[in-house]
A and B are shown apart, each in its own frame.
Chain A
Amino acid sequence: MPNNEVDLAIVVNGQPTVVRANTNAPLRTVIARALEQTGNAGQPPENWELRDAAGAPLPLDQKIGDFNFAADVRLFLNLKAGVGGVA
């Protein structure tokens, strides 16, 4: 694996997958790949949110390399709540 690539474990709606990503690319680039790998085709990437293991949202425009993710990091990608809240 080249130096500028990293494997990230991403849990999509509870389903784990590993995405190979370029460390110079913004974090949002892993979303489409993770969705594709897990067969989640129903909603576009902007309707998903990426969080760390503690549940904190991650800034998607930040470069992947700048996060200094640990080798065993797990990120959690989940569908946003969307419209709702009106009975």
Chain B
Amino acid sequence: MTEPDPRAELRDGPELMGDALDARLSETWGDKPGLIGWLRTVDHKRVANRYIVTALVFLALGGVLALLMRLQLAQPESGLISADRYNQIFSMHGTTMMFLFAVPVMEAFGVYLVPLMVGTRAIAFPRLNAFSYWLYLFGGIMIWVAFLLDIGPEAGWFSYVPLSGPQFSAGKRTDFWAQMITFTEVAALAVAVELVGTIIKQRAPGMRLDRIPLFVWSILVTAFMVIFSMPAVTLASSMLISDRLVATQFFNATEGGSALLWQHLFWFFGHPEVYIIFLPGLGFISAITETFCKRPVFAYPLMVAALVTTGLLAFGLWVHHMFATGLPRLGYAFYTAASMAIALPSGVQIFCWIATMWDSRPRLEVPMWWVIGFIITFVIGGLTGVMIASVPLDLELHDTYFIVAHFHYTLIGGGVFPLLGALTYWFPKMTGRMLGNRLGKISFLFTFGGFHLTFMTMHFTGLMGMPRRVYTYPAGMGWDMLNLISTIGAFVLALGVLIFVLNIVLSLRGGAIAGDNPWGAASLEWATHSPPRPYNFAHIPAVTSNTPLWEETLPCFSGLRVEERELLLTTAVEAEPDIREPSPKPSVWPLVAALATTLLFIWSIFSPWAVVWGSIPAAIALILWFWPKDPAEPGKEPVIE
């Protein structure tokens, strides 16, 4: 026997497992306690929890704005809220819900679940992940502070020019809106890149493309959609800012610009945006259905094809938001056909979920209630979507309450209902405790009932000619009673959400202790502790089917270093073990870089020179962030146990 090499690497394996391994890995992957550790963390679960909580706070704020609007519209000629305030409120409602709630919360679930579901120890680019959260938080705070100071956006969440241009939106209100776009787009793009990287390169060995859980597929498609669609709106909002700040004329028709250019760019992003919100919702539905039906979702390849098709078609639909703008009429036919075609992949998925239930004995736990609520609601939203894909119908229905009803059916039905189901479903994994059953059912009933009371009614309000975005309306148009019903429904809906929140608060302390896998689910996140340890998996699992936890045994890989943060990378298609890759340690520089970027973004609302001088602190923070470390010794190859 020779002396042990002091530089020998410690690896997990037969000689290091169980509690000793847990202690070693916890030391390597854990954060220091206290505020410093809290600020420095790059643990995808901690960052995702923050993301989710923050997004839910924005959901609550956006919901309060919705209730304010419903109060104003409960009766005709109401003087409760002034025109100026109302216009800010509806602009903030849309902005908050789309940019600060829906997209971030869906990406946050991806950040939490994807590394666990693909069986890896960390997300790709974990520091970028922390950076994106801070940036998102600061951007959200900025726009809300501006709103509370009466400099909130006033031209809608869509900010059509010239209304949002320098001439008709004087002051800084629209600049705050446009800069909020920049914040959230940078954050969303960063997360999208991390998720794609994690899904493509960090899957557990054996998790071939045809074994990826459907939720992860939905996140992959969503992330690619973010990468391809968000640059359009970032470009548009940058052009708007420069029109407003340095007198460029991109959107000024009298100087050769074009008002319609904004709409093309905005909707080239805006339509995929809608799918970015509900595709992860479809992923939730697949995960929940699989678990409670105790069988894989019917026709897996078809489900994947449907997700990918939806993602591709999403980029060919944007003109259906512009049917009334006077573009060549024959060209509209293409967008009608493409918009209607979306019904095919959506209809196939709906069929496959129901077929899964048909061919099994579904357990009707609370998450399944949300699945059923989703199916009923989302199908209605999809079918009204078919109606407004038709040019002659849309020209009447466009910009009326019918549209408000339609997209709330798709976004709440297709996004929020699955999200609430997902929160119920993964709550035990995230917190270690079950979410209360009784309150869960009560909150579903109120939310579902309140939702349909509010928004089913709006279809009729719209058919009777009430346009959107009006702060008041005259009496005697036949809208009074319908609006009152919608307002009552909105409060019932809010009560349902409130009960949901109450349930979370009560269950955090008093909920039943959940085991590692309380629902008997099949995907890898349920192989970890509840809540998962900082390193997720003591040994990297090896996957031999679509439902790894329903197999007899879960084989695993060992041989990753334990005193350094190390990941196993696999090949993109077959997920064969490829190389070992170090994973960054906690760092405070993402936070500092986010603060520096925030300074640059907010400063540039007021002066173009911010782009020059503000880039200096950001550059310093980034240099320190990326300061080269000692290259790790290349180690031995991992071994299969």
Chains A and B form a bound pair: no
* Interface residues of A, Cβ cutoff 8 Å to B: none
* Interface residues of B, Cβ cutoff 8 Å to A: none
